[in-house]
Amino acid sequence: MKHLVIVGDGMADYPVEEANGKTPLQAAEKPNMDEIARRGRMGMLRTLRPNLPRGSDVANLIILGYDPYSCYTGRGPLEAAARGVRVGDNEVVFRCNLITVEENRVVDYSGGHVTTSDAEVLISELNRRFVNIGRFYTGVSYRNIFVSKWGGGLRATPPHDIVGEEYGKHLLKPDNEESRLLNRMMVESIRILSENQVNIRRRKAGDRPANMAWIWGQGRMPSLEPFSLKHGLRGVVIAAVDLIKGIGKLAQMHVPEVPGATGYYDTSYENKAAYAVKALEEFDFVYLHVEAPDEAGHEGSFETKVKVIEEMDRRLLKKILDSVEENVSISILVDHPTPVSVRNHTLDPTPFTVMKPGLKGDGLPFDENSGLKGSLGLVDGMEIVKLIKSV
Ligand SMILES: [Zn+2]
């Protein structure tokens, strides 16, 4: 049996009063997702840990069976792995967001969703100015990488946690020589990036400037047991965001570049579906990650989240249901909720479904209530790959 696992990042939510108490999953027209759930068995998945960051990195490591207490070192190293960035043993890798600040406050953690081509220009300017402190690498849009021999032991803050707040209160801590050096670099980046032609043009066009380099999520490069050894399955990761691709590469899974996969609302669902179906011909386990629902949750837009789920259903799941062979199990998981009312990740368990030829389904549509009623009950994320193989 081969296995296709589809992860809707941040897709779970809370009931929204303005929508008659429905969640985006309950409000969305999603016949294909519901068909998979009706023919499958449902349950709830515990994907996070109270004393670890509530990030997609921890959640997706756990879902793929990797114990975060032994192999999670931060977000930066995972993204560096996706980009093939060379990192020395004594070096630390940070995620570097290009953010928007105005009047000393964080206005936008994504720098107005700066384009990757604009980010490249800004990143090379930072490399010119801060060559003695570290190296910057371009990633996707506002998600970039910074490598340095300093900063491993410092406390850093994810910028999406401090939107609206004074950035000065959330710089690297505790106060010591390393944090002073790196904080000075971040603060100086504001003047440098604000004067860059890219941001002058963005302002003129009415776009938010990407005018501060904000570093966080740092750690040393982790080592993961190969996925094939851990689960006895040859695995593939189909994803747009470096975080998930990096986990795949560190787990020695196959990670193809999917044209048009952006990690945002304009992603090519069609190409992602086609690559997943193709990969099932050669591999045993395909992990297909969709980032867009999480972006809608962070944006706090119920309408956008419903629209994203409906597009995912029409343009990705339908294509998969129409073209996947009989001997393939299809599972739909959610790595964590990103409720539109919270605009951030929460620790709540998430609904999941496993559909398999010959398996008697629970007959429930795919949403949070069905997950609670599902015959598989509450399952810990570390057990889900085993359960998909054995159920
Ligand atoms: Zn996520």
User: Are 63 and 193 members of one domain?
Assistant: no
- Distance from the alpha carbon of residue 57 to the mean position of ligand 1, in angstroms: 7
| pLDDT number for residue 281 | 95
* Alpha carbon separation from 123 to 58, 78, 136, 215, 218 (Å, rounded): 27, 19, 6, 13, 18
pLDDT of residue 336: 98
Residue entry with tokens 């043993």: 89
Ligand 1 center to residue 56 CA distance, Å? 4
Gap from CA of 294 to ligand 1 centroid (Å): 6
Distance (Å) from CA 11 to ligand 1 centroid: 9
**CA 89–ligand 1 middle distance (angstroms):** 28
Strand partners of residue 214:
97
Residue 73 CA to ligand 1 centre (angstroms) = 17
Lookup result for tokens 């109270």: 50
| Percent of the chain whose pLDDT exceeds 70 | 100
For 133-150, what is each residue's pLDDT tens digit? 999 999 989 999 999 999
Sheet holding 285-290, edge to edge: 235-238, 285-290, 2-8, 328-333, 350-355, 41-46, 378-380
pLDDT above 90: residue 326 = no
Burial track 274-293 (b if 16+ CB lie within 10 A, e otherwise): bbbbebbeebbbbbbbbbbb
Q: How far is the CA of 152 from the centre of ligand 1 (A)?
A: 24
Ligand 1 mean position, distance from CA 133 (Å) = 31
Going by their DSSP bridges, the two strands 135-140 and 143-148 should be labelled as antiparallel
pLDDT band at 177 (very low <50, low <70, confident <90, very high): very high
Is there a single domain that holds both residue 197 and residue 294?
Answer: no
**Do 315 and 354 reside in the same domain of the chain?**
yes
- Looking at the structure, do residues 56 and 102 belong to the same domain, yes or no? no
Q: Give the whole-angstrom CA distance, residue 334 versus residue 143.
A: 22
Domain finish residue from 167, 189, 219: 219
Regarding whether 253 and 188 lie in a shared domain, the answer is no
The per-residue pLDDT for range 285-302, each reduced to its tens digit, is 999 999 999 999 999 999
**Statement to judge: residues 326 and 365 lie in one domain:** yes
What does 128-191 look like in DSSP terms, one character per residue?
HH-TTT-EEEEEETTEEEEEESS-TT-B---GGG-TTSBGGGGSSBS-SHHHHHHHHHHHHHHH
- 171 C-alpha vs ligand 1 centroid, how far in Å? 24
- Write out pLDDT tens, residues 149-172: 999 999 999 998 999 999 999 999
- Taking the centre of ligand 1 as the mean of its atom positions, its distance from the CA of residue 257, in whole angstroms, is 20
End-to-end CA distance of the chain: 12
**Domains: count for the chain:** 2
Gap from CA of 364 to ligand 1 centroid (Å)? 24
Expressed in angstroms and rounded, the spacing between residue 345 Cα and the centre of ligand 1 is: 8
Element (H, E) at 96: strand 92-102
Whether residues 385 and 310 share a domain: the answer is yes
pLDDT of residue 9: 98
- Which of the listed residues 178, 198, 219 is the one where a domain comes to its end? 219
Please tell me whether residues 349 and 328 are part of one structural domain: yes
Assigned token pair, 271 = 């190409």
Express each pLDDT in 67-102 by its tens digit: 999 999 999 999 999 999 999 999 999 999 999 999
Do the Cβ atoms of 42 and 374 come closer than 8 Å? yes
Structural domain boundaries, residue 206: 81-219
pLDDT at 316 over 90: yes
Q: Are residues 139 and 62 in the same domain?
A: no
What pLDDT band is residue 325 in, cutting at 50, 70 and 90?
A: confident
User: Residue 33 C-alpha to ligand 1 middle, in angstroms?
Assistant: 19
C-alpha 16 – ligand 1 centre gap (Å): 20
Q: What is the pLDDT of residues 244-273, one digit of tens each?
A: 999 999 999 999 999 999 999 999 999 999
pLDDT of residue 41: 98
Confidence of residue 118 (pLDDT cuts 50, 70, 90): very high
What count of other Cβ atoms lies within 10 Å of the Cβ of residue 87? 17
| pLDDT > 90 in the chain, percent | 98
Give the CATH number of the domain where residue 11 resides: 3.40.720.10
What rounded mean pLDDT belongs to the chain?
Answer: 97
Residue that finishes a domain, picked among 219, 237, 267: 219
Q: 289 C-alpha to center of ligand 1: Å? A: 9
Distance 307 CA to ligand 1 centre (A): 18
Question: Considering Cα of 111, then 115, then 121, then 124, what sign does the dihedral take?
Answer: positive
**264 and 363: one domain?**
yes
Q: What is the pLDDT of residues 267-289, one digit of tens each?
A: 999 999 999 999 999 999 999 99
**Are residues 252 and 384 located together in one domain of the fold?**
yes
How far is the centre of ligand 1, averaged over its atoms, from the C-alpha of 55 (Å)? 6
Residues 251 and 180 in one domain: no
Instruction: Calculate the alpha carbon distances from 199 to 44, 97, 114, 387 in Å.
Output: 45, 15, 10, 50
